[in-house]
Amino acid sequence: MSSISTPVTEAHEDAAHGQHDPNLQHHFATKEQQFDTSKIGIWLFLATEILMFGGLFVGFAYMQSRFPEAFFEGHKHLLKVAGTLNTVVLLVSSFTMVLAVHYARTSKRKKLIICLAITMFCALIFLGVKYIEYTHEFSEGLYPGRYFSNPDDPTGHEFIFFSFYFMMTGLHGIHILAGLCVMAWLLRRAIRGDFSRNYYTPVDVVGLYWHLVDIIWIYLFPLLYLIR
């Protein structure tokens, strides 16, 4: 109550705050609050991502239990080595991403840039391997749905497996691509020197997204490539 009587002093104080932190937006009281809000925001987004992929996983589980032989026969066409390689590549990229967050938080600009670059390189490898896989599958006539034209299909239902395979890996691939774009933006800002222990929210938030994409692949890999 007593402070109400001193509006002038406060206005003065505000003006004295001339060197206002450019990274603190005006609708947040503190940096801490701003950081926590961003984190809650990205976690809510990740929750919607889980539910979106969840629908595909539930559909997969249903159809797999209904046509186990077709799914088993279908998965034999996939390149297991490529799938394993991509799993390792994504895990390593998650590792370099978490290092990037760590180096951003400890104001190590050079190491942050290197880690971001390695993460992007891993993402590119992942997409490259995926391209090789898709080319291989298309060449065998393994298309989704009614476009499926592989003559060697003893069950007659392999097209269902490949519908799920292309939907799930395709949607996941789009997420990798989106992550790549956002990381290019991060890299540009990191080179410009935007991030330090005072402000590294974008790196942290993109890192969380990237780890979720990794987690989704952790489930996709055994389900699609290794099922029996």
Partner 1 sequence: MSDHTTILENTQAAGHGSEEAHAHGPRNPVRLYTLILTCLLILTGLTVLVAQFDFGDWNVFAAMIIATIKASLVALFFMHLLHDKGMNAIILCTALVFLGLFLSFDFMDSTTRFKITPANGAAPAGSDFHRPKNLGVPFGGAKNVKPPPEPPK
Beta carbon nearer to partner 1, 51 or 192: 51
Query: Is residue 211 near partner 1 by the rule CB under 8 A?
Result: yes
Q: How far is the CB of 94 from partner 1 (least distance, A)?
A: 6
Footprint (CB under 8 A) of partner 1, residues 32-51? 32-33, 36, 39-40, 43-44, 46-48, 50-51
Footprint of partner 1 on 132-171 (CB under 8 A) = 145-146, 156-157, 159-160
Other C-beta atoms closer than 10 Å to the C-beta of 58 total 10
**Region of residue 226 (left: phi > 0; alpha: psi -120 to 50; beta: else):** alpha
25 binds partner 1 (CB under 8 A): no
Decide: is 123 part of the binding site for partner 1 (CB under 8 A): no
Q: What secondary structure does DSSP assign to 59-109, as a single string?
A: HHHHHHHH-HHHHHHHHTTS-HHHHHHHHHHHHHHHHHHHHHHHHHHTT-H
- Radius of gyration of the chain measured on its C-alpha atoms: 24
The window from 29-37, 125-133, 165-173, 186-194 that contacts partner 1 (CB under 8 A) reads: 29-37
Classify each residue of 154-189 as buried b or exposed e, where b means 16 or more C-beta atoms within 10 Å of its C-beta: ebebbbbbbbbbbebbeebbebbeebbeebeebbee
Distance CA 215, CA 213 (A): 5
Do 23 and 197 form a contact (C-beta atoms < 8 A)?
Answer: no
> Could you say which of 23, 82, 95, 114 contacts partner 1 (CB under 8 A)?
95
**31 makes contact with partner 1 (CB under 8 A):** yes
Stretch that binds partner 1, among 89-97, 119-127, 173-181, 183-191 (CB under 8 A): 89-97
From the CB of 53, what's the least distance to partner 1, in Å?
9
Question: Do 216 and 172 form a contact (C-beta atoms < 8 A)?
Answer: yes
Q: Is 34 left (phi over 0), alpha (psi -120 to 50) or beta?
A: alpha
Query: Residues 21, 62, 138, 191: which binds partner 1 (CB under 8 A)?
Result: 62
- Asked if 109 interacts with partner 1 (CB under 8 A), we say no
Q: Which residues share a beta bridge with 196?
A: 199
* Interacting residues with partner 1 (CB under 8 A): 3-4, 6-7, 10, 13, 29-33, 36, 39-40, 43-44, 46-48, 50-51, 54-55, 57-58, 61-62, 65-67, 80, 84, 87-88, 91-92, 94-95, 97-99, 102, 145-146, 156-157, 159-160, 207-208, 211-212, 214-215, 218-219, 221-223, 226-228
